[in-house]
Homo-oligomer: A and B are copies of this chain.
Amino acid sequence: MVVFAAMSEQLLSKEALDPIVKKYYLQLNPPSLEDNTADIDRIKKYLKSKLAIDNIYVSLKDIARFSKILRQANFKATVAILNELHRFRLIDMEAGDTTDRNYGIAVDLGTATLMFYLLDLNTGKIIDQISAYNPQIKFGEDILTRIHHAGKGNGLKELKECIIDSFNRHIKLIAEKNHCSLNNVYVLAVAGNTTMTHLFLGLEPATICREPYIPIINRPDLFLASEVNLSISTNGHVLVFPNVGSYVGGDLIAGVLFSEIYKNSKISILLDVGTNVEVVLGNSEWLIACAGAGGPALEGGAVKIGTMASQGAIDKVRINPATLEPTYSTIGNTKPKGICGSGLIDLIAEMFLSKIIDSQGKVTGNLNSHRIVKTHEGMGYVVAFKEETAGGQDLIISEADISVLLRSKAAMYTILTTVTSMVDIKFQHLKQFFIAGTFGNYLDPKMAITIGMIPDIPIDRYKLVGNSSGLGACMALLSNKKRKDISRICDGITYVELNVNTAFMSLFNAARFIPHTDRSLFPSVKM
């Protein structure tokens, strides 16, 4: 709960609370011969005259129901009004005063992970948060496999139904756990990458991965949750974050919204590490975005002992250079089950600083240590012996694992180098460097600098924003101003394709060393 309070505060500090759905308790005068306004018009008239809410749409199918509730409640009832920006929509009516029950759910729809945030729209507070694997994983770990699956027979339908089903289960779970009726969950905001968004909407993603890489849609309009079989309030709506291109999706736009780099006159960068590495660079005048491969290792996907940043994951590691013995902490302080992204970065950095590995990631340290063992994939280092682990197996990182990680970090550094060079910006000129993504919560920037993953700039310029996609999605539900900013961001952003050309490959190869072949780029890394 402390975490939620902190996150809520962070959200509310940025913009005044002005949620997408508001509830009002109406105490209407019953009709009379002198005041013969029709039932639905009576509600609209009240909202206009007392609350200055004009241009309110009521769906045909709701007219009879709302009129009945209103009359049964003796004209004292609560309405829920959705702000569609260009007009309002009366989405619910309940007898009596139910204004205190007004909820929304924000979802970070990741290729690997789903994160659900339950929001009290009246207070702007995050009530709870749950995460889950994206169940589409059973059809393919990565985006390309899923796009491929979508093209086969019933594939698209399967992928869509499985994600919707998971949404429904988790929405129900988080609502029930917090004693919120699904009838009072009026809105969902979903931020995902372009492919995940297409699959969620049941749209064929084939053109996304084929030149010239064209999504079917970038900016879907608000729609009824029932249109995709999501079970929230009858007229609950879904806000899907817009994409900018096939590889810059709504999740990144949500991150931009949260980090507010689009509002700052000084140049900042947002680095979002999920399944891809996504970067937005710019300020209030301009924004450029690009994306590249490089993520999975850092999400714990490609490394044998890697795991999600969840309970039991080692998130911090230190190694005594004299004894080569590690100390570590785990999320939730339980027995370790694996190592998450931030833990892996710590581990490589510490192995390097304690000279277990050299700048190429090869084990060259004291081969007599009981921590250093042979594996099927080269030499390895035992982070935790089986006696202390949750799974009862040694947690060993091998040279092969390290090589994968170094490729990942090299990709990330090369993307950062490339994108800044494009606009002739030096890393030193960045005033803020936001790091987002599931591992962004736990990352130690000093360690990431040590391995040469991120540039060697003053530590205080790094801002760990955690799940900025999820929090950006929350923000869109809490502030109509922020929601309008989404279009502004999309209008102003330029999507650049990173051509993996010779120049890129040469930069990449130079970046595969710890911290880099050009040590002058990392003056703070001493060993």
**In this assembly, does A38 line the interface, its C-beta being within 8 Å of a C-beta of chain B?**
yes
Partner of A63, one of B37, B39, B216: B216
**In this assembly, does A212 line the interface, its C-beta being within 8 Å of a C-beta of chain B?**
yes
In Å, the complex CA distance between A227 and B62 comes to: 11
- Complex interface bits, A188-221 against B, C-beta within 8 A gives 1, otherwise 0: 0000000000000111100100011111111111
| CB-defined contacts of A58 to chain B, threshold 8 Å | 217, 220-221
Determine if A223 and B60 form an interchain contact, defined as CB atoms under 8 angstroms apart. yes
Identify the stretch in A28-36, A136-144, A172-180, A443-451 within 8 Å (CB) of chain B at 4 or more residues: A28-36
Closest CB in chain B relative to A80 CB, distance in Å: 17
In Å, the complex CA distance between A495 and B37 comes to: 10
Determine if B216 and A39 form an interchain contact, defined as CB atoms under 8 angstroms apart. yes
| CB-defined contacts of A39 to chain B, threshold 8 Å | 207, 214-217
Determine if B33 and A202 form an interchain contact, defined as CB atoms under 8 angstroms apart. no
**In this assembly, does A526 line the interface, its C-beta being within 8 Å of a C-beta of chain B?**
no
A contact set with B: CB distance below 8 Å: 31-33, 35-41, 44, 55, 57-61, 63-64, 67, 86-87, 201-204, 207, 211-221, 223, 227-228, 243, 245-246, 495, 497
| CB-defined contacts of A204 to chain B, threshold 8 Å | 64, 67
| CB-defined contacts of A87 to chain B, threshold 8 Å | 86-87
Look across to chain B and name the residue whose beta carbon is closest to the beta carbon of A246: B36
| CB-defined contacts of A207 to chain B, threshold 8 Å | 39
Closest CB in chain B relative to A201 CB, distance in Å: 7
Would you list 6 pairs from A and B whose C-beta atoms are within 8 A, ordered by A residue? A36-B246, A58-B217, A59-B223, A60-B201, A64-B203, A67-B204
| CB-defined contacts of A64 to chain B, threshold 8 Å | 202-204, 216
| CB-defined contacts of A218 to chain B, threshold 8 Å | 37-38, 40-41
Look across to chain B and name the residue whose beta carbon is closest to the beta carbon of A215: B38
Determine if B216 and A32 form an interchain contact, defined as CB atoms under 8 angstroms apart. no
Determine if B245 and A36 form an interchain contact, defined as CB atoms under 8 angstroms apart. yes
Determine if B219 and A41 form an interchain contact, defined as CB atoms under 8 angstroms apart. yes
Determine if B33 and A63 form an interchain contact, defined as CB atoms under 8 angstroms apart. no
Determine if A227 and B63 form an interchain contact, defined as CB atoms under 8 angstroms apart. no
Interface centre among A44, A203, A211 (most CB of B within 10 A): A203
In Å, the complex CA distance between A217 and B32 comes to: 15
Determine if B36 and A212 form an interchain contact, defined as CB atoms under 8 angstroms apart. yes
| CB-defined contacts of A495 to chain B, threshold 8 Å | 36
Rank and list the top 4 A-B pairs by shortest CB-CB distance, nearest first: A38-B215, A38-B218, A40-B217, A60-B223
Look across to chain B and name the residue whose beta carbon is closest to the beta carbon of A58: B221
Closest CB in chain B relative to A210 CB, distance in Å: 11
In Å, the complex CA distance between A212 and B87 comes to: 31
Closest CB in chain B relative to A151 CB, distance in Å: 14
Determine if B221 and A61 form an interchain contact, defined as CB atoms under 8 angstroms apart. no
In Å, the complex CA distance between A318 and B444 comes to: 103
In Å, the complex CA distance between A519 and B32 comes to: 40
In Å, the complex CA distance between A281 and B86 comes to: 35
Look across to chain B and name the residue whose beta carbon is closest to the beta carbon of A57: B221
Interface centre among A31, A36, A213, A245 (most CB of B within 10 A): A36
Do A217 and B36 form a contact, CB below 8 Å, given A86-B55, A86-B87?
Answer: no
Closest CB in chain B relative to A235 CB, distance in Å: 14
In Å, the complex CA distance between A64 and B204 comes to: 7
